[in-house]
Amino acid sequence: MQAKVHVTLKTGVLDPQGEAVRHALGGLGFENVASVRQGKVIELELTETDRAKAQSDLTDMCEKLLANTVIENYQIDISD
């Protein structure tokens, strides 16, 4: 089973990396970019075959390690 966890900063949390990317894009002539929010994607290969158990385990992983839930949101995508 394959899983992807998308982690992004919550709305209202400053994103200095996103701002640096926006600034760099402007320097390359892409002046129409108003803002950039940067995140990360974590890909996992799971041996679990029960989808509900995998979802539960992934939520625990996110809550305990993969995302800082004080300032980040996460979204879990599972495929067989």
The CATH number for 73's domain is 3.30.1280.10
- C-alpha 73, offset from chain centre: 7
Give the pLDDT of residue 61. Answer: 98
- Please, are residues 55 and 78 in contact by the beta-carbon 8 Å criterion? yes
Domain tally for the chain?
Answer: 1
pLDDT in tens, the chain (80 residues): 999 999 999 999 999 999 999 999 999 999 999 999 999 999 999 999 999 999 999 999 999 999 999 999 999 999 98
pTM of the complete model: 0.89
Residue with token string 């894009």: 25
- Both tokens of 70, joined, read 């004080």
Q: How far apart are CA 42 and CA 39, in angstroms?
A: 10
Domain span at residue 50 reads 2-79
Position 27 scores a pLDDT of 97
**pLDDT at res. 14:** 97
